[in-house]
Structure 1
Amino acid sequence: MPRFSVIVPAYKVQAYLHECLESVLSQSYADLELIAVDDRSPDACGEIIDEFAARDTRVRAVHLPENVGLGRARNAGLDRATGDYLLFLDSDDTLTPDALRAIADRLEETGEPDVLVYDYASIYWTGEAVRNRFAEQLSEEGPAPFRLQDRPGLLRVLMVAWNKAYRREFVERTGLRFPPGLYEDTPWTYPALMAARTLATLDRVCVHYRQRRRGSILSTTSRGHFDVFEQYDRVFAFVEQRPELARWRPVLFRRMVDHLSTVFTKRDRLPRGSRAEFLRKARGHYRRYRTPGASVPLRSRLRHTLVHFGVHRTYRALEASMTLRRRAHKSVSKLARALRAALLQAHYRIQLRLPLRADRAVFAAYWGRGHGCNPGALEAAFRALVPQVRTAWIARPEHQDAVPPGPRRVRPGTAAYWTALARSKYLVNNVNFDRRLVKRPGQVFVQTQHGTPLKHMGLDLQERPAAARGTDFEELLRGVDKWDYVLSANRHTTLTWERVYPGGYETLEYGYPRNDVFQRATAEDVAGLRESLGIPRDAIAVLYAPTHRDYRRAQRCPLDLERVLRRLGPRFVILARAHYWQDPLVDRPVPGVVDVSGHPSVEDLCLASDALVTDYSSLMFDYANLDRPIVVHADDWEAYDAARGTYFDVRAFPPGAVAHSEDELIDLFVTGHWRGPRPARLRAAFRERFCPHDDGRAAERVVRRVVLGELEPLPVTPPAERRPAPSAAATAAEAEAATAASVPAPLPGTSGTPGASPVEPAAASAVEQGASPGRPPLSVVPRPAGPRSVVDRR
């Protein structure tokens, strides 16, 4: 008897069926049977099912003699199911990776409930993925299992059969069956939830619900939509046969009215000439099942009035007037925006004629996302070294609070914004400013960039359309022509920038200012950051920061973080940092995984961690300055390189150990090779090549050159002589070694291991972590006060 019976009815879905069935059979949890029902499909669905059945004994092929519709096809699968739990999957949808393992774990954790409700995400033909908007109803907080009256909000989640797992014994005891006709899920899901003695939820996306461009049966025009009336008759009949469920009648009544009004107002469902008939039947159902106590939200009252009184023409008149009002409001708003934009540009043109202010500098980073990165470090350096220059920071409204005290806060698109761009002598950004920026004589534009390039950038993307995303390269070069200085961290970066961003600027190969903090932070700073993130004192914190994949539409997490943590043990904590173009790395709370995607400073996350796991993110070049272990997870290098293009093979010149799969990555940590002597040697060579100038004074060098006009940069401390901020593990090892050294050696004849030194293991660990008791003097540039907002540089 398998744990799961997954029932997949198929009809005219040959283009999607293979992916659907493969998503079930490739699950990491293999204790299942897949019952694929060919509903007399006229295309190749039957042949595809037979091919899968021939190659995998878990597949049971069912061929129906005639087309019976989705509901009865599911019943045919039910009749043959033998699993403990039943799952339904539409043949154009898919299970997400490891979904069945998560479902099995949650069922065991909650005591084998009658029904488990899990989440889904709608996948559109454009590649966009949107999670269920009522996902908060699936929270796993609170007692479980429970009854529906304890969590009535579950009835707000989409009433379909395929986002739930049903205990087969419960289904048989309750007598649940799918009826014929459209909307067959309605008389299945409501009774299942109401009759279940025990319910549980799983806050995880387990199904990808395909939104096809064309072909959904509910979007076709036919009289089949009249089936909705019989389906609600079945639901209310189920309640009437069970007096203990009478409490749900008001809720069911309101949901029925909402559903009927939705069918009526959707223009593509009812055939011409049948709308009045549908409304008459809806009015009859309203009167038949009306139940006091059903509160109706204000936004739904018009629809309920439509169904109650059957006022078809009145509703249409009101709808037309509201549409006209919306269009008028839209036109007025558009005109107002155009007028405001014209006035702002006129203001900007006036400001351009006024004198430059030599004592003003304006900063921005990542299109106004917040304070941080190289511009953030330079803004702090301006205030420390040249306090006579007043600074301003451009940030969008939602990021204003992330700007620390000191700089004046400016919002994009305001009069103050255009004044700052027109009158400030110094312009600093890690991307370009507004393309309408007019670079005035005497203005100085410092382009800081935001990382060391591993992937192709600039003009090298002309032959990479997937990565270029419609970039206007002529506009790009017009922006380059406005740059006066470009920052670089190493020779590789310098040569790349000057080739892919050709222009008349001067390259300042001084290191990246944002990395100065790695040389200035103390062990106390690291301990404070870890405490603020909730990292246990003795834990090994691994920062996991994958980069964006240009060749993937859905940016899913490359690793199963729950499985990784389960294998590594409770001592490890994972700080999960998603790229800002990436889906969340965790879609539900996982013990031991801290979602830090929204944390304002990636530098603070680096300091708080003991190691970095990444793939092809440029964060590895910055993290190498800390001289802490780095593990590269290169499971799809060939695909990534083919889609994006890279400047060198990071597997051949890595900053540490390299894993080619999830299992290899786990093995590196389980065996301790992630911080062994060979990865340390690789890291040293990597740091020597890519971090020659990052000694904690990069920001100071830039300010002295750009503002003070000093042509000779400050001398650079070689990498071997630097003392970066120690990791928590290294600090603990030093403390342990110091404690052991202060304990007198045991006298002859006393207890103790002959010939063993209690200091050696801790000392070796400290060497592996790059720890050292000595520290250089702090830079004259103070660390910025207050919260900072730093967006991923990947």
Structure 2
Amino acid sequence: MPRFSVVIPVFKVQGYLRECLDSVLGQSFRDVEVIVVDDCSPDSCGTIIDEYAARDERVKALHLPRNVGLGRARNAGLELARGDYVLFLDSDDCYTPGLLQALAARLDSVGDLDILAFDHVRTHWWGRGGRSQVADLIERAGTDVFRLEDRPEYVHLFLVAWNKAFRREFFLEQGLRYAPGLYEDAPVTHMAMVTAERIGCLNRIGVEYRQRRQGAITKTPGRKHFDIFEQYEGLFAFLAARPELAWAHSLLFERAVFHMLFVLKRPERVTVADRREFFHRTADFYTRHLPAGFALPEGGTGVYMRALAKRSYRAYQAAELADRVRKSGPNKILKARTRAGKRAYAGLYTAQRRRSLDPNLAVYSSYWDRLPSCNPLAVFDKARELAPQVHGVWVVRKELADQVPDGIDHVVRNSRRYWEVMARAKYFVNNVNFPDGIVKRPGQVHLQTHHGTPLKRMGLDQQAYPAAARGMDFDRLLERVDRWDLSVSSNQHSTKQWERAYPGAFESLDAGYPRNDRYYAAGAEDVAAVRARLGIAEGKTALLYAPTHRDYQQGWAPSFDLARLAGALGDDFVLLVRTHYFYDRTPQLSDLAEQATVIDVSRHPSVEDLCLAADALIADYSSVTFDYANLDRPIVIYADDWQIYSQVRGVTFDLLSGRPGDTPGAVATTEDELIDVFLSGRWHGPDAAALRGAFRERFCQYDDGHAAERVVRRFFLGQDAEPAIVPLAQRVPAPSPSLR
């Protein structure tokens, strides 16, 4: 029988679940069972749970046949628990290191407790919070063991399931179970506290309580918040059945009403339309359960309770207004929302937004209004085939307008027609974000295609890396994220990273990257034609060198001597060099290209063409690595500054670990090693091929040549994202040009 049973109900938390499970299984105290309850989660949570259960015998996986909600999922896990103590942990939260060892030590020192409570810290999406509101209360408890009747102030301990270890036999003997619906923690916590004979506190932060920007039900307004009334009715039915708990009636009545008033005041829970009804439901509860001789508390809570006693919503509103004025201060000056002269287009854009939406108009943009390319271009092309009724218009910069290919309608950003299409289009497709000034109207839908698989840290994760976060306004970033409806992903790694780094209400569309369809549609003739256009002589082995941007560098310089590598490899090889689009052309590269030492492809409009033409890729930390893996051709990682890059920019996994799934092929960290990788043949040897195979399984998960069709059917046609994904073993990528 284990010392602790940790029950973790799981639903739609694939971006956080691994961190949660690792925080429990990585505890120094090992005598624990972890019961993970898959509440019929529609994402990859079930697969993650099974993965952990397969490799750690302490994990018990329970897959529920239908979604039952948090409370009943906890109950299902409780039925399997065999530990002396049971703890409940939410699947997007984490234990702090050493928590279980500290709990065990306290229990060993004071003997069995019915409840051992501990502290927590809120972890917001923008960073960690300060001390909890009950920190002083927990600290004052010291090593005392008490009953709530003797220490009634401890009724203020945070009303959740996950900040306490419950003696399992006590929990079961008292008949404690979580009811369906919201606020299920509150009645069970109160029932446990008033029936426990031995309560203790551990002055330690045990849980990192994640404050998710989106997805948390407590931040989703709606009728579900009326569940609080049924939950507290259950609590008072429990009290009524136990006369010995009469002492707790007034104590819990005040806490229940306070909790209802707390919910009522929050617009992120109770909508304006529902506030009056919610108030009257609270007044009903107040009248029905008012204890004899109850004394109103001091302060604002007492004022609000008087309004409840009178059943006067107007009195409640007056009290709320007075409270707001008091907090904001009588001398607060309201600031104007607009500045004179700002946004000269505002009048035009506003006028256009008064017109009806065009249901067959779509706006496209790539890389901050550069030329049509990447995933948006692949979606655009497929939409012309499958949804020809939708007219697509591209946004481009003025200096690039004359380079837009024939047959593609486009507008110059900030032009008169630009504001018209931005105001009236129903569909928006981008691989970055549209400008901050764009207002998302009701009925408009946004598709975020992204433009790579994230090795480096992105979005809010960049806050921990000052060089990467320089100049970023994270509040504005989140406002842009709020416009997304669908977020395209090519693998589960990306899906989880996007959901963590960009907390929003969008739906993940695990369809593959549309731009990578080209790698499966192209044949030998297409590959030969691309090579001919690039000037690659027949029989040459072409190596594409495509390094990424460094936040800590000004301008670009190659990480190795291009001329030396070209000379060492000889005439059988040709080196294609593709600099990142952030950088201007460099004289050094231009000189080498003029000398025919390399072929400069930095301004070539299609990265997909370059990948098709290349027999192998030399990459560092660029996302092109993940796309190129679809071709099942050799990849060499040249990483001379990995230590600096991973510390300054932050990374999501160790590209250089050599573990299957992490490293896509041979690795070099010095110029000499890079030359040797090719001269020795290791670049296309069996070890490199095995690593590449594992890398493809992990990162080419959904890329099968049909991604664009799945995206178009889902986004434009409202259909299921079909066809089904072709298994990796059955995919046939474009043939390699010279390697046989």
Which position in structure 2 is the counterpart of 1:424?
A: 425
Judge conservation of contact 2:590–2:600 (CA < 8 Å) in 1: no
Contact 2:713 2:721 in 1 (8 A): no
Instruction: Work out the CA distance in 2 between the residues paired with 1:462 and 1:340.
Output: 33
**Residue 467 of structure 1 contacts residue 643 of structure 1 at CA under 8 Å; is this kept in 2?**
yes
Residues 89-100 of structure 1: pairs in structure 2 closer than 5 A:
none
1:358 and 2:359 matched: yes
Q: Which amino acid aligns with 1:708?
A: L
> What residue ranges of structure 2 are gaps of 5+ in the alignment?
1-338
Q: Which position in structure 1 is the counterpart of 2:688? A: 679
* Residues 554-596 of structure 1: per-residue CA shift (max 9 Å, x gap): 4321011000011110111111000122363614134230011
SS at match of 2:368: helix
Q: How does 1:506-521 map to 2 (within 5 A)?
A: 506-521=507-522
| Partners of 1:432 and 1:582 in 2: CA distance | 20
**Displacement of 1:350 after TM fit?**
0.6
What code does the residue aligned with 2:624 have?
A: L
Aligned match of 2:620 in 604, 615, 620? 615
Q: Is the 8 A contact 1:544 1:577 kept in 2?
A: yes
Secondary structure of 1:728's counterpart equals coil
Letter in 1 for 2:422: L
Q: Could you list the per-position Cα deviations for residues 376-435 of structure 1 after superposition, in whole angstroms to 9, with x for gaps in the alignment?
A: 100111111100111101111232244333331110010111111110100000111111
Corresponding residue for residue 706 of structure 2: 697
For 1:499 and 1:636, how far apart are their aligned partners in 2?
A: 27
> Residue 606 of structure 1 corresponds to which residue in structure 2?
611
What CA distance in whole angstroms lies between the structure 2 residues aligned with 1:376 and 1:399? 16
Query: How do 1:195-210 residues align onto structure 2 when only pairs under 5 Å count?
Result: none
Report the AA paired with residue 398 of structure 1.
Answer: E
C-alpha distance in structure 2 between counterparts of 1:641 and 1:661, whole Å: 17
Retained in 2: the 8 A contact 1:556–1:582? no
Query: What is the aligned partner in structure 2 of residue 630 from structure 1?
Result: 635
Q: Can you list the C-alpha shifts for 1:218-262, whole angstroms capped at 9, x where unaligned?
A: xxxxxxxxxxxxxxxxxxxxxxxxxxxxxxxxxxxxxxxxxxxxx
Aligned residue type for 1:623: Y
Distance in 2 between residues matched to 1:466 and 1:493, nearest whole Å: 22
> Do the aligned partners of 1:361 and 1:392 also contact (CA within 8 Å) in 2?
yes
What's the CA shift for 1:341? 7.3
Secondary structure of the structure 2 residue equivalent to 1:542:
strand
Could you tell me whether the CA contact under 8 Å between 1:344 and 1:414 is conserved in 2? no
Matching residue of 1:661: 670
Structure-2 separation of matches of 1:712 and 1:587: 45
Q: Distance between the aligned counterparts of 2:583 and 2:684, measured in 1?
A: 29
Q: For 1:450-529, what aligned pairs fall within 5 Å after superposition?
A: 450-529=451-530
User: In 1, are the aligned partners of 2:396 and 2:410 still within 8 Å (CA)?
Assistant: yes
**Aligned length, in residue pairs:** 394
Listed one character per residue, the Cα deviations across residues 25-81 of structure 1 (whole Å, up to 9, x for unaligned) are xxxxxxxxxxxxxxxxxxxxxxxxxxxxxxxxxxxxxxxxxxxxxxxxxxxxxxxxx
Q: Is the partner of 1:394 in helix, strand or coil?
A: strand
User: How far apart are 1:548 and its partner, in Å?
Assistant: 1.2
C-alpha distance after superposition, 1:346-372 (max 9, x if no partner): 111011010000011010001111111
SS in 2 for 1:709: coil
Specify the SS of the correspondent of 2:364: strand
Contact kept in structure 1, 2:640 and 2:668, CA below 8 Å: yes
Equivalent position to 1:644, from 615, 635, 649: 649
Assess if the C-alpha contact under 8 Å between 1:395 and 1:412 holds in 2. Answer: yes
- Structure 2: distance between partners of 1:572 and 1:340: 58
Q: Structure 1 residues 619-628 or 406-415, which shifts more?
A: 406-415
Deviation at 1:342, TM superposition (A): 4.9
Distance 1:529 1:515 in 2: 16
Structure 1 unaligned segments of length 5 or more: list them.
1-337, 731-765, 767-794
- Seq. identity, %: 53
Q: Is this contact kept in 1: 2:511–2:721, CA < 8 A?
A: no
SS of the aligned residue for 1:367 comes to: coil
| C-alpha displacement of 1:673 | 1.2
Normalization by structure 1: what TM-score? 0.49
**Deviations along 1:521-547, whole A, 9 cap, x unmatched?**
111111111111111001111000111
2:395–2:413 Cα contact (<8 Å) kept: yes
CA distance in 1, matches of 2:340, 2:598: 49
Contact 2:545–2:617 under 8 Å retained in 1? yes
2:694 is aligned with 1:714: no
Match for 1:586 among 589, 592, 595?
Answer: 589
Q: How does 1:389-468 map to 2 (within 5 A)?
A: 389-468=390-469
The answer to whether the 8 A contact 1:361-1:425 is kept is: yes
How far apart, CA to CA, are the structure 2 residues paired with 1:364 and 1:683?
32
Alpha-carbon distance in 1 for matches of 2:583, 2:645: 15
CA–CA distance in structure 1, aligned partners of residues 381 and 730 of structure 2 = 26
Q: Secondary structure at the match of 2:508?
A: strand
Q: C-alpha separation between the residues in 1 aligned to 2:433 and 2:478?
A: 11
* Partner Cα distance (1:708, 1:375) in 2: 16
- Once the two structures are superposed, the pairs formed by residues 126-275 of structure 1 within 5 Å of their partners are none
Deviation (angstroms), 1:469: 2.0
Superposition deviation, residue 610 in structure 1? 0.6
Q: CA RMSD in A?
A: 1.6
Query: What secondary structure, in the 3-state scheme, does the structure 2 residue paired with 1:555 have?
Result: coil
Between the aligned partners of 2:368 and 2:348, the Cα distance in structure 1 is 22
Relative distance call for 1:343 and 1:548 in structure 2 (3 A) is closer
Q: 1:474 to 1:693 in 2, by over 3 A?
A: same
Structure 1 counterpart of 2:472, which letter?
T
Deviation at 1:340, TM superposition (A): 9.7
Q: Which amino acid aligns with 1:543?
A: L
State the AA in 2 paired with 1:392: V
- 1:164-198 Cα shifts (integer Å, max 9, x gaps): xxxxxxxxxxxxxxxxxxxxxxxxxxxxxxxxxxx
SS at match of 1:729: coil
What corresponds to 2:329 in structure 1? none
Q: Deviations over 1:660-715 (max 9, x none)?
A: 11111101111111011111111111001000111111010011111211135321
Partners of 2:605 and 2:340 in 1: CA distance: 36
What stretches of structure 1 move > 3 A for 4+ residues in a row? 338-343, 582-585
- 1:718 is displaced (CA, Å) by 1.3
Counterparts of residues 721-740 of structure 1 (less than 5 Å) = 721-730=730-739
Structure 1 pair 518–340 and aligned structure 2 pair: CA distance change class (3 A)? farther
**Contact conserved, 2:711 with 2:721, CA < 8 A, in 1?**
no
Per-residue CA deviations over 1:318-343 (Å, capped at 9, x if unaligned) read xxxxxxxxxxxxxxxxxxxx999755
> CA–CA distance in 2 between the matches of 1:522 and 1:440?
43
- Distance in 1 between residues matched to 2:404 and 2:694, nearest whole Å: 37
